[in-house]
Amino acid sequence: DAGVIQSPRHEVTEMGQEVTLRCKPISGHNSLFWYRQTMMRGLELLIYFNNNVPIDDSGMPEDRFSAKMPNASFSTLKIQPSEPRDSAVYFCASNRLGDTRSPLHFGNGTRLTVT
Amino acid sequence: KQEVTQIPAALSVPEGENLVLNCSFTDSAIYNLQWFRQDPGKGLTSLLLIQSSQREQTSGRLNASLDKSSGRSTLYIAASQPGDSATYLCAVRLLYGGATNKLIFGTGTLLAVQP
């Protein structure tokens, strides 16, 4: 089991540019989560999907953020246009919906720096 | 609205000491509670998951307890080692119905075990 795979590991971009973060969940997991972590705000849930369908996007900060899950093995989080305050570590996580004993597995994150 | 709090925010102990980390939550309607550790620059690793019907879970030197009625969980680490140094986070899975899978995280406890 390769675990949750995120890419890129680091992203440095200039304000106004589009940023796309990618995630491959663990095979067999049908819930996928995007979190953002900063020193000031800790770990925040941005959006999560069950069976590729977005269930709760109330944590998405604003319209500049969008997320998609076109199939069970791939998801993207896009920021357009990016701003310096978007700088954070973005984590993707997955588990099995309907199994209360299924722990949440995290990827190693993407560290985003917007200058 | 579910709020998860962890005390203390930081803890430093000498190697070999037993220690307790605390997690409290405001709404007892939860499916389960998970404890994670996070090493610098890494994602979160699940340590223990306690179902709402359980009182405790053990894994090696770790023991997690859950008192749902009082909204409290503790993580007990026996015979601490320098390798235990990390940030420890708890998270509760909300009980909104069969399709929910939303986890709310605490702010974490930064643990340093001094050799």
What is the tens place of the pLDDT at every residue in A34-45?
999 998 888 999
**Across B11-18, average pLDDT:** 96
- B91 to chain A: closest CA residue: A104
User: Minimum mean pLDDT among A15-24, A95-104, B64-73: which range?
Assistant: A95-104
Q: Would you say residue A94 has pLDDT above 90?
A: yes
Which tokens sit at B80? 């601490």
Predicted confidence band of residue B96 (pLDDT cuts 50, 70, 90)? low
Q: Would you say residue B47 has pLDDT above 70?
A: yes
Predicted confidence band of residue A85 (pLDDT cuts 50, 70, 90)? very high
Hey, which residues 11-70 in chain B have their CB within 8 Å of chain A? 31-32, 34, 36, 42-46, 49, 51-52
Which tokens sit at B85? 């140094």
The rounded Cα A37 to chain-centroid distance in angstroms is: 11
Question: From residue B14, how far is each of B70, B73, B85, B89, B109 by CA, in Å?
Answer: 31, 23, 11, 21, 16
pLDDT, residue A19, reads 98
Q: What percentage of chain B reaches a pLDDT higher than 70? A: 96
Chain A residues with CB under 8 Å of B100 CB are 55
> Cβ B49–A50 below 8 Å, yes or no?
no
> Cβ A106–B44 below 8 Å, yes or no?
yes
> Cβ B42–A104 below 8 Å, yes or no?
no
**Across A73-86, average pLDDT:** 97
> Cβ B44–A98 below 8 Å, yes or no?
no
> Cβ B49–A103 below 8 Å, yes or no?
yes
Chain B residues with CB under 8 Å of A4 CB are 43
**Across A5-11, average pLDDT:** 97
Which tokens sit at B1? 């609205």
Question: From residue A95, how far is each of A4, B3, B8, B69 by CA, in Å?
Answer: 10, 22, 29, 26
Q: Would you say residue B10 has pLDDT above 60?
A: yes
Chain B residues with CB under 8 Å of A31 CB are 101
Hey, which residues 56-115 in chain A have their CB within 8 Å of chain B? 56, 91, 93, 95, 97-98, 100-101, 103-109
Mean pLDDT, chain B, whole residue set = 92
Q: Would you say residue B95 has pLDDT above 90?
A: no
User: Minimum mean pLDDT among A95-104, B14-23, B29-38: which range?
Assistant: A95-104
Mean pLDDT, chain A, whole residue set = 94
pLDDT, residue A1, reads 65
Chain A residues with CB under 8 Å of B3 CB are none
